[in-house]
């Protein structure tokens, strides 16, 4: 699978722009603020129906306009696929595949597998558990539409249960039977999600360890630990045992929405004990393992986006990264960088075709 072209209208800083791509390597080069990352984000948008960097639709429209359109043309399994994403102020966003609109955005997820590596990924280490849950859910969902459906329904029921707890507090009342209806629904949705997450971490971890080893050339030991309240106790029991706590806080304190993924280095948290270089290697290994996992799961080679990472990596890691993508395991690659000469020198060292896009 590869992206043959993209057309943008009123998307971020672009009024109207089109690009024709090389099937292997495509490099967007120029000073900061010219829109290199915006092109990569448009490509991400085509796969996921949203921006990687700013999920607020109106803020992806060019300043002073009230709509945007992204059109992408793909070659997938020797078939042409056209994806159009459009949004207008005050209206719902639309995704069309070959002229036909999706009933639900979730139906599109996984059709165009993609992995992005960006400086923004550091949030996986420094931010809260929600960021890491989204990473896990994003990887699983690209190859498992049933999982995404479970997750969407779980979050709906969770919001309803939290609203009921707030209603009880505001009206100084309580109805255990009403709450039990939501408890049962959360249990029935949450337990399969927990099981799928646990299975994913078990399959993903060896791939990640191999990637880290190849990138870091080090002897340190890294690991991933799935942390969940459901490991010891079924969700229905947790909700029942902690009902008083939920009533007091007006919030559901137990469930898969509290899960986390712990990043370890020699038995200690990467966030506290990892050097900048170790953290970068950890994140790149994590994303390349995501690429490997999705490729195996979907039998489609994902598109790989490398956003501004040459500025953030030392020369040794850049060389190692490029050498890794210089084989048939990887497909189409998109790179953004501030130094045209540096980028071209790097991609010239690989035995793949490439195209430069000065912005």
- Supply the pTM of this predicted model: 0.91
Q: Let me know whether 221 and 315 are in one domain.
A: no
Q: Let me know whether 316 and 278 are in one domain.
A: no
Q: Let me know whether 341 and 351 are in one domain.
A: yes
Would you say residue 189 lies in a domain? yes
CATH number of the domain within which 242 lies: 1.20.1050.90
Between CA 199 and CA 194 the distance in angstroms is 9
Residues 304 and 115: beta-carbon distance below 8 Å: yes
Percent of the chain with pLDDT over 70: 97
Local confidence band at 57 (pLDDT 50, 70, 90 cut-offs): very high
Q: Let me know whether 211 and 264 are in one domain.
A: yes
Would you say residue 233 lies in a domain? yes
Would you say residue 335 lies in a domain? yes
Mode of pairing for the β-strands spanning 100-101 and 94-97: antiparallel
Alpha helices (H) along 105-224: 123-126, 129-141, 145-170, 176-216
Would you say residue 118 lies in a domain? no
Q: Which of 281, 299, 317 is the last residue of a domain?
A: 299
Q: Let me know whether 305 and 254 are in one domain.
A: no
Burial (CB < 10 A; 0-12, 13-18, 19+), residue 313, is middle
Q: Let me know whether 311 and 274 are in one domain.
A: no
- Listed in sequence order, the residues at least 6 apart from 104 whose beta carbon sits closer than 8 Å to its beta carbon are none
What is the tens place of the pLDDT at every residue in 190-203?
A: 999 999 999 999 99
Q: 136 pLDDT exceeds 70?
A: yes
Mean pLDDT, rounded, for 19-41: 93
Q: Let me know whether 203 and 294 are in one domain.
A: yes
Q: Let me know whether 131 and 278 are in one domain.
A: yes
Between CA 246 and CA 180 the distance in angstroms is 13
Would you say residue 213 lies in a domain? yes
User: 321: alpha, beta or left, given left = phi > 0 and alpha = psi -120 to 50?
Assistant: alpha
Mode of pairing for the β-strands spanning 67-76 and 79-88: antiparallel
Average pLDDT score, the chain: 92
Q: Let me know whether 155 and 13 are in one domain.
A: no
Tell me what pLDDT residue 312 has: 66
> How many of the other CB atoms lie within 10 Å of CB of 229?
17
Q: Let me know whether 184 and 275 are in one domain.
A: yes
Element (H, E) at 96: strand 94-97
CATH number of the domain within which 45 lies: 3.40.50.300
Question: Total structural domains in the chain?
Answer: 2
Tell me what pLDDT residue 275 has: 86
Burial (CB < 10 A; 0-12, 13-18, 19+), residue 287, is buried
**DSSP-derived 3-state class of residue 73:** strand
CA distance readout (Å), 293 to 77, 137, 286: 20, 13, 10
Reported for 200-208, long-range contacts at CB under 8 A and 24+ positions apart, including other chains, are: 200/136, 200/139, 200/140, 201/136, 201/226, 201/261, 203/293, 204/139, 204/289, 204/293, 207/289, 207/292, 207/293, 208/285, 208/286, 208/289
What is the tens place of the pLDDT at every residue in 82-132?
A: 999 999 999 999 999 999 999 888 899 999 999 999 988 999 999 999 999
Percent of the chain with pLDDT over 90: 76
Element (H, E) at 5: strand 2-11
Strand partners, 86: 69, 94
Side-by-side strand order, sheet with 94-97: 14-20, 2-11, 67-76, 79-88, 94-97, 100-101
Q: Which of 299, 323, 342 is the last residue of a domain?
A: 299
Between CA 29 and CA 244 the distance in angstroms is 57
Would you say residue 279 lies in a domain? yes
What is the tens place of the pLDDT at every residue in 242-283?
A: 999 999 999 999 999 999 999 999 989 999 998 888 888 899
Burial (CB < 10 A; 0-12, 13-18, 19+), residue 55, is exposed
Q: Let me know whether 13 and 97 are in one domain.
A: yes
Tell me what pLDDT residue 315 has: 67
Residues 64 and 51: beta-carbon distance below 8 Å: no
Strand partners, 354: 25
Q: Which of 299, 316, 349 is the last residue of a domain?
A: 299
Q: Pick the range with the lowest mean pLDDT from 6-10, 57-61, 62-66, 315-319.
A: 315-319
- Comparing 313 with 18, the larger pLDDT belongs to 18
What is the tens place of the pLDDT at every residue in 300-328?
A: 999 999 998 777 676 667 766 777 677 77
Would you say residue 332 lies in a domain? yes
HEC profile for 249-299?
Answer: HCCCCCCHHHCEEEEEECCEEHHHHCCHHHHHHHHHHHHHHHHHHHHHHHC
- Listed in sequence order, the residues at least 6 apart from 118 whose beta carbon sits closer than 8 Å to its beta carbon are 37, 52, 53, 305, 307, 308, 309
Range of the domain at 357: 1-113+300-359
Q: Let me know whether 93 and 213 are in one domain.
A: no
Would you say residue 120 lies in a domain? no
């Amino acid at each position: 699978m590869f992206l043959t072209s993209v057309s943008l209208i009123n998307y971020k800083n672009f009024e109207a722009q089109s690009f024709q791509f090389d099937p292997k390597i495509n490099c967007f080069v120029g000073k900061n603020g010219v829109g290199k990352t915006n092109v990569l984000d448009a490509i991400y948008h085509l796969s996921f129906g949203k921006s990687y960097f700013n999920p607020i639709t109106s803020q992806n429209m060019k300043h002073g306009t009230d709509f945007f359109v992204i059109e992408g043309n793909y070659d997938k399994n020797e078939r042409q696929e056209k994806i159009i994403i459009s949004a207008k102020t005050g209206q719902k966003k639309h995704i069309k595949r070959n002229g036909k609109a999706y009933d639900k955005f979730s139906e599109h997820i996984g059709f165009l597998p993609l992995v992005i590596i960006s400086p923004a990924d550091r949030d996986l280490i420094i931010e809260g558990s929600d960021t890491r849950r989204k990473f896990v859910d994003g990887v699983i969902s690209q190859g498992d539409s049933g999982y995404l459906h479970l997750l969407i329904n779980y979050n709906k029921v969770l919001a309803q249960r939290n609203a009921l707890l707030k209603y009880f507090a505001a009206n100084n009342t309580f109805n255990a039977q009403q709450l039990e209806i939501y408890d049962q629904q959360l249990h029935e949705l949450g337990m399969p999600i927990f099981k799928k997450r646990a299975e994913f971490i078990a399959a993903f971890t060896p791939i990640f360890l191999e990637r880290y080893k190849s990138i870091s050339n080090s002897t340190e030991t890294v690991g991933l630990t799935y942390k969940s309240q459901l490991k010891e106790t079924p969700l229905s029991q947790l909700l029942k045992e902690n009902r008083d706590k939920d009533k007091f806080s007006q919030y559901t304190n137990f469930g898969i929405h509290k899960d986390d993924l712990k990043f370890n280095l020699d038995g200690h948290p990467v966030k506290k004990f990892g050097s900048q270089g170790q953290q970068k290697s950890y994140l790149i290994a994590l994303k390349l393992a995501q690429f490997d996992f999705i490729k195996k799961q979907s039998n489609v080679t994902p598109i790989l986006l490398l956003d501004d990472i040459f500025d953030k990596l030392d020369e040794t890691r850049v060389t190692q990264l490029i050498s890794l993508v210089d084989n048939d395991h990887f497909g189409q690659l998109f790179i953004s960088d501030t130094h045209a000469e540096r980028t071209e020198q790097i991609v010239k060292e690989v035995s793949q075709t490439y195209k430069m896009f000065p912005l």
